[in-house]
Structures are given as structure tokens and as C-alpha cells.
């Protein structure tokens, strides 16, 4: 089953395309990192996945064919937005009561147990909570609905390092307990490297690379060698990005082949891989299984 599937998906606001030609098939049961700079189309994709906005072109479905925003999807998909919107004048207990009355699936004991473990007093008003507590309440509310797919749009962006750590720990505990699929947008790549096993990189409104994190790391290498022969190397090897120097040039290449004489190789890591795809003018045009084309759609 696919958690999210898109075909030639696009969204246009006026004359500006926020996202275009997006074809993905993200398998269920994965923790997916959605990475890209501001304006790359991340929030647009997430909003279409939860039914908050409609596509301009193409199609999107969740949980093996369900239409986002439909009654079926609303009962099976959870969403925590970047500003984790909750009514500040309500107490935490009132917040749980409100969501319980609006939800077809609700586990009161689950929500209360999560908040009790974090020492969050149900009598406190949401507006008086710290940023970390506010985010934890939003997460507890989403998880108490037992979603099959949880969509998170940079929910920890405003939190301090300790609060971010606690938030991620609570999220991963829920993943381990319930086996839910997660699509997580964040700018903190080092944070995603610890928890995510699937990667989608967006830039300039297009998918630049997508796939299993371990497979991507296994099929990319950093090559370093003499700048005098760099042009020859780039004509025969799929190069994602280059850092030229007077004497030495470093290339992130999409291959696990042996480099040419005079060049040395080393394994890459997730942060380097992501940054290289973000620096590339349009890595989606590179040949290969991770290009943004119909061939990129994994089943």
C-alpha cells in the first residue's frame, strides 16, 4: 500500500507554480523526510495531501487511493501544522473535549496518558503553555485519533533543542507502537537523519530526488580529484553537484562505480546528499531512477 501517491501533480497560484510535474509513490509504514528550501513547494504538497487545497493539475491520493479531504481520509489522516494551531483560551482538558466531539475516532485515555507522561496539567490554558508543551498537546491530539498517516509541517520549528528532542522522542515512540506512516517536513537535516528512512527533496517546485535513505546513500559517492581532469569526469558520470577548487574538485556523483585514476572516493552522508541536490540547478533532469519523471514512481 502507498501512503501517498501523486501523478503529474501541480499547484499554481496565479501565474506562479508552487509545485509542478510531481510524481511520487511513497510506501506505507515509512517515516518520510520532506526537505527543501522555503518556497520549494513542501507546504503546498502537504496541504494537498490532507485536503486543504486542491491540485491545479494531476492527481493525489492517500492510503492506497483515498481522496484527500474525503470523509474516509479525514478519519485516517492526522495533521500537525507548523504553528500547531490550538485555541489559546481553552484549557488542555477543553481542547481534548472539543476534538473528541469532532472526531469519529478518538482515544481519550491515549491522549491523557501521553500528556500525563509529560507533566502537562490538563487545567492549564493552551495559551499559557510553553512552545514545547503546546507542540506536545497538538501531537497528542493528532495521535489520539489513531491515524494511519500522520502529516507534520515543521511542527517543531519554533522549539528550543530540548523541546525538539522531547517532541521527536514522543513521535518516534508512537511510530514504534502503532506502525503509522509519517510524512515529516523540516529544515533540520541532522534531526531527520536520526528518524527518517525515506527521503523526498523538493527544490524550485520540483522533486529533485526520492527514495529509501539507505539505498540513496549506497548509490551516491563523494569523489575528489584534480581539477584539471574534472571536466572529463563530468562528461561520463552523473554528477549531482560540484565544488571546484584551484587544484582539487569535489563531486557528488550518482554511482557506486570505481572512480577514475587520480580520484579518491568516500561515502556520503544524508546532509551532504540533500545539500548537493538543493545546490544543483535541476537535478531532476539527471538520468537515472531518482529523476523526476514517470520512471521515478516507485511501487
pLDDT of residue 283: 57
Q: How confident is the model at residue 282 (pLDDT cuts 50, 70, 90)?
A: low
For residues 173-181, average pLDDT: 89
Per-residue pLDDT, 298: 35
Average confidence score pLDDT of the chain: 88
Other CB atoms within 10 Å distance of the CB of residue 37: 12
Average pLDDT over residues 179-200: 87
Q: How confident is the model at residue 27 (pLDDT cuts 50, 70, 90)?
A: very high
Share of the chain above pLDDT 70, in %: 94
Dihedral of CA 293/294/295/299: which sign? positive
Higher pLDDT, 270 or 84: 270
pLDDT of residue 292: 41
Q: 104-113, 125-134, 191-200, 246-255 — which is least confidently predicted?
A: 191-200
pLDDT of residue 30: 94
The pLDDT of residue 297 is above 60? no
pLDDT of residue 294: 33
Q: What is the mean pLDDT of residues 78-97?
A: 90
Q: What is the pLDDT of residue 62?
A: 97
pTM: 0.86
Cα separation, 167 vs 16, whole angstroms: 35
Amino acid at each position: 500500500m502507498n501512503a501517498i501517491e501523486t501523478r503529474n501533480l501541480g499547484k499554481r497560484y496565479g501565474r506562479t507554480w508552487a509545485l509542478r510535474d510531481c510524481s511520487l509513490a511513497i510506501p506505507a509504514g515509512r517515516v518520510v523526510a520532506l526537505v527543501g528550501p522555503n518556497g520549494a513547494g513542501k507546504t503546498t504538497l502537504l496541504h494537498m495531501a490532507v485536503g486543504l487545497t486542491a491540485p491545479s493539475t494531476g492527481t493525489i491520493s492517500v492510503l492506497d487511493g483515498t481522496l484527500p479531504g474525503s470523509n474516509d481520509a479525514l478519519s485516517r489522516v492526522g495533521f500537525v501544522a507548523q504553528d500547531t494551531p490550538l485555541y489559546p483560551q481553552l484549557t488542555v482538558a477543553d481542547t481534548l473535549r472539543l476534538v473528541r466531539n469532532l472526531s469519529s475516532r478518538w482515544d481519550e485515555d491515549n491522549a491523557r496518558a501521553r500528556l500525563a507522561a509529560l507533566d502537562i496539567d490538563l487545567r492549564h490554558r493552551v495559551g499559557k503553555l510553553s512552545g514545547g508543551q503546546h507542540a506536545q498537546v497538538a501531537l497528542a491530539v493528532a495521535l489520539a485519533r489513531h491515524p494511519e498517516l500522520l502529516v507534520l509541517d515543521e511542527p517543531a520549528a519554533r522549539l528550543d533543542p530540548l523541546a525538539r528532542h522531547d517532541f521527536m522522542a514522543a513521535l518516534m515512540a508512537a511510530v514504534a507502537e502503532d506502525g503509522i506512516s509519517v510524512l515529516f517536513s523540516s529544515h533540520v537535516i541532522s534531526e531527520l537523519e536520526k528518524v527518517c528512512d525515506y527521503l523526498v527533496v523538493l527544490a524550485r517546485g520540483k522533486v529533485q530526488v526520492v527514495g529509501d535513505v539507505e539505498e540513496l546513500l549506497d548509490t551516491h559517492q563523494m569523489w575528489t580529484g584534480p581539477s584539471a581532469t574534472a571536466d572529463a569526469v563530468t562528461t561520463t558520470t552523473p554528477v549531482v553537484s560540484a565544488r571546484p577548487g584551484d587544484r582539487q574538485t569535489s563531486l557528488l556523483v550518482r554511482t557506486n562505480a570505481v572512480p577514475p585514476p587520480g580520484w579518491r572516493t568516500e561515502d556520503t552522508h544524508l546532509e551532504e546528499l540533500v545539500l548537493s541536490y538543493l545546490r544543483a540547478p535541476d537535478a531532476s533532469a539527471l538520468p537515472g531512477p531518482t529523476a523526476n519523471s514517470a520512471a521515478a514512481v516507485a511501487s
